């Protein structure tokens, strides 16, 4: 299976980079993992709703350009479905079983995802109603993908 995590912005914090690298290494024997970063749009702190939408759309165009046509896209969004780790494992297992071997998770920037990206997605996933920094979300997501792989393989992993 090919798992892609496409996200807006460059990862800057070393602790996040090291954490993601660790889980990417652990995933190596099981899946092909691709981490794709697109530049975030420079924007002022305060924006009108129209300006915010423009920022999301420009970032969205960059994200969409990185997605393969055959990818099953799962957008991370506050209004997405709430899955347990077991639910994520089940979703990935079903996708692999039914020939959807390329799964792309998409993480927006600080203003969220563009409507065009949400429209491209087959599913929306939420990690809860709390707002997390999008850079931290990458680490949480890659850990959960690793956990899902371990669940599907019936291998132990700490709880």
- Tell me how many domains the chain contains: 1
Confidence (pLDDT) at 158: 65
Confidence (pLDDT) at 143: 97
Looking at the whole model, is its pTM more than 0.85? yes
Confidence (pLDDT) at 99: 83
Assigned domain for 157 exists: no
- For residue 126, give the CATH number of its domain: 3.40.1280.10
Assigned domain for 2 exists: yes
Confidence (pLDDT) at 129: 86
Q: Measured in whole angstroms, how far is the alpha carbon of residue 141 from the centre of its chain?
A: 6
Assigned domain for 142 exists: yes
Assigned domain for 156 exists: no
Domain extent, residue 94, equals 1-151
Residues 8 and 108 sit within 8 Å (Cβ to Cβ):
yes
CA angle 16, 56, 144 (to 5 degrees): 35
Binding positions are 76, 108, 127-132
Assigned domain for 158 exists: no
Q: Which residues pair with 33 in a beta bridge?
A: 3
Assigned domain for 79 exists: yes
Assigned domain for 77 exists: yes
**Using CA atoms, how far apart are residues 152 and 104, in angstroms rounded to an integer?**
18
In the chain, which stretches have pLDDT less than 70? 158-159
Binding positions for S-adenosyl-L-methionine are 76, 108, 127-132
């Amino acid at each position: 299976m090919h798992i892609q995590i496409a996200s807006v912005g460059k990862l800057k914090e070393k602790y996040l980079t090291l954490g993601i690298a660790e889980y990417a290494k652990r995933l190596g024997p099981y899946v092909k993992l691709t981490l794709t970063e697109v530049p975030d749009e420079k924007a002022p702190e305060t924006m009108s709703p129209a300006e915010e939408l423009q920022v999301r759309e420009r970032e969205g165009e960059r994200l969409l350009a990185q997605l393969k046509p055959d990818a099953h896209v799962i957008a991370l969004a506050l209004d997405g479905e709430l899955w347990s780790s077991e639910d994520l494992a089940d979703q990935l297992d079903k996708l692999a079983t039914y020939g959807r071997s390329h799964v792309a998770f998409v993480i927006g920037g600080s203003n969220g995802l563009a409507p065009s990206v949400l429209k491209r997605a087959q599913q929306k996933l939420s990690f809860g109603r709390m707002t997390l920094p999008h850079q931290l979300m990458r680490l949480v997501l890659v850990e959960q993908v690793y956990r899902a792989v371990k669940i599907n393989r019936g291998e132990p992993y700490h709880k």
